[in-house]
Amino acid sequence: MRKIAVIGAGQMGTGIAQTIAAHGMHVMLTDIDLATAEAGKGKIEKAVTKLVGRGKIEADAAEALLAKVTPIGEYAPMAEADLIIEAATEKEPIKQAIFESAGKVLAPTAIMASNTSSIPITRMANHSPDPERFIGLHFFNPVPVMGLIEVIPGLATAKDTTDRVTAFAEGLGKEVVLSQDEPGFVVNRILLPMINEAVFVLGQSTAGIEDIDKGARLGLNHPMGPLQLADFVGLDTCLDIINVLYRTTRDTKYRPAPLLVKYVEAGWLGRKTGRGFYDYSGDAPTPTR
């Protein structure tokens, strides 16, 4: 694959675009308008400038990487893409509208992929022009650092589509886990119940925020505790995913922790809003409870 398009210039979309460009492919980056797409490229520039400053990459490699990222304000140029990756917010109606609009310009042999964390691929494929060329391609945050991509074929996905996106994912230097199209796939099916349970533990005052995170960091050797990780992922995204698990399986073991719902209702969504289980306004994060 030579040319890729990424729809969604947020945390995930920019990380995906950065990783693709770092592996020598051209990437078009789009969002609700050109200004948002350009701001997304700005985030990539900030990330690679940091890497140059830390001696991780050379300045001319950073320049070459940035030259491969083209912000676009409309879908028409995506007709040239071999692969379109949707990385918009985890709301199904928004994703459906994207598949329908981007589907109008999808080239005859190109593939459309969704970076959804949990929404069924088979169901979303019906909003794309060709379910045989539709697949889940789930990246992990921070994308340039994390070594895994989940590949999730839907019921109608052709084997050739799975083979091509697997080769693409491996070409990004990632390992692939192939998952059936079941709620939460493999990783989030395991991760989200853990995060949700940590919020129950907090809500029941079994321990405070720092001790819960310390428990997972030191007792389980996790790089981040579950509440830190929830802030990192975004509490709204965590709630969206646990709700998908709950609603699709109707299994009460996935019911969202009431405190998670409250934080989201308060607009305390984690790092991106400056406050979640931790407050990020100072030099170092401080627990909010």
Among 223, 265, 282, 283, binds ligand CAA (CB under 6 A): 223
Contact call for residue 39 and ligand CAA (CB under 6 A): no
3-state SS track over the chain: CCEEEEECCCHHHHHHHHHHHHCCCEEEEECCCHHHHHHHHHHHHHHHHHHHHCCCCCHHHHHHHHHCEEEECCCHHHHHCCEEEECCCCCHHHHHHHHHHHHCCCCCCCEEEECCCCCCHHHHHCCCCCHHHEEEEEECCCCCCCCEEEEEECCCCCHHHHHHHHHHHHHCCCEEEECCCCCCCCHHHHHHHHHHHHHHHHHCCCCCHHHHHHHHHHHHCCCCCHHHHHHHHCHHHHHHHHHHHHHHHCCHHHCCCHHHHHHHHCCCCEHHHCECCEECCCCCCEECC
The answer to whether residue 114 is catalytic is no
Which residue, 131 or 225, has its beta carbon nearer to ligand CAA? 225
Instruction: Answer yes or no whether residue 161 interacts with ligand CAA by CB under 6 A.
Output: no
> Which residue, 105 or 229, is less far from ligand CAA as judged by CB?
229
To the query of whether residue 188 is one of the catalytic residues in this protein, the response is yes
| 224 binds ligand CAA, rule: CB under 6 A | yes
Select which of 150, 179, 196, 243 is catalytic.
150
Residue burial 210-240, b: 16+ Cβ < 10 Å; e: rest: bebbebbeeeeeeeebbbbbbbbbbbbbbbb
In angstroms, what is the minimal distance from the CB of 234 to ligand CAA?
A: 8
Q: Of residues 41-70, which lie at the interface with ligand CAA (CB under 6 A)?
A: 47, 51, 54, 56
Does 6 bind ligand CAA (CB under 6 A)? Our answer is: no
The reply to whether 186 sits near ligand CAA by the rule CB under 6 A is no
- Does residue 122 touch ligand CAA according to CB under 6 A? no
Q: Of these, 10, 142, 203, 208, which contacts ligand CAA (CB under 6 A)?
A: 142
What does the alpha-carbon distance between residue 16 and residue 7 come to, in Å, rounded to a whole number? 10
Q: Which residues contact 170 (CB under 8 A, 6 or more apart)?
A: 176
* Closer residue to ligand CAA, CB minimum distance, 102 or 242: 242
C-beta of 18: minimal distance to ligand CAA in Å?
A: 6
**144 touching ligand CAA, by CB under 6 A:** yes
Residue 196 interacts with ligand CAA (CB under 6 A): yes or no: no
Task: Out of 111, 229, 242, 260, name the contact with ligand CAA by CB under 6 A.
Answer: 229
Q: Which of 134, 140, 168, 268 binds ligand CAA (CB under 6 A)?
A: 140
Interface mask toward ligand CAA for 70-109; x: CB under 6 A: ----------------------------------------
* Residues within the interface to ligand CAA (CB under 6 A): 47, 51, 54, 56, 117, 140-142, 144-146, 188, 191, 223-224, 229, 233
Catalytic annotation, residues: 117, 138, 150, 188
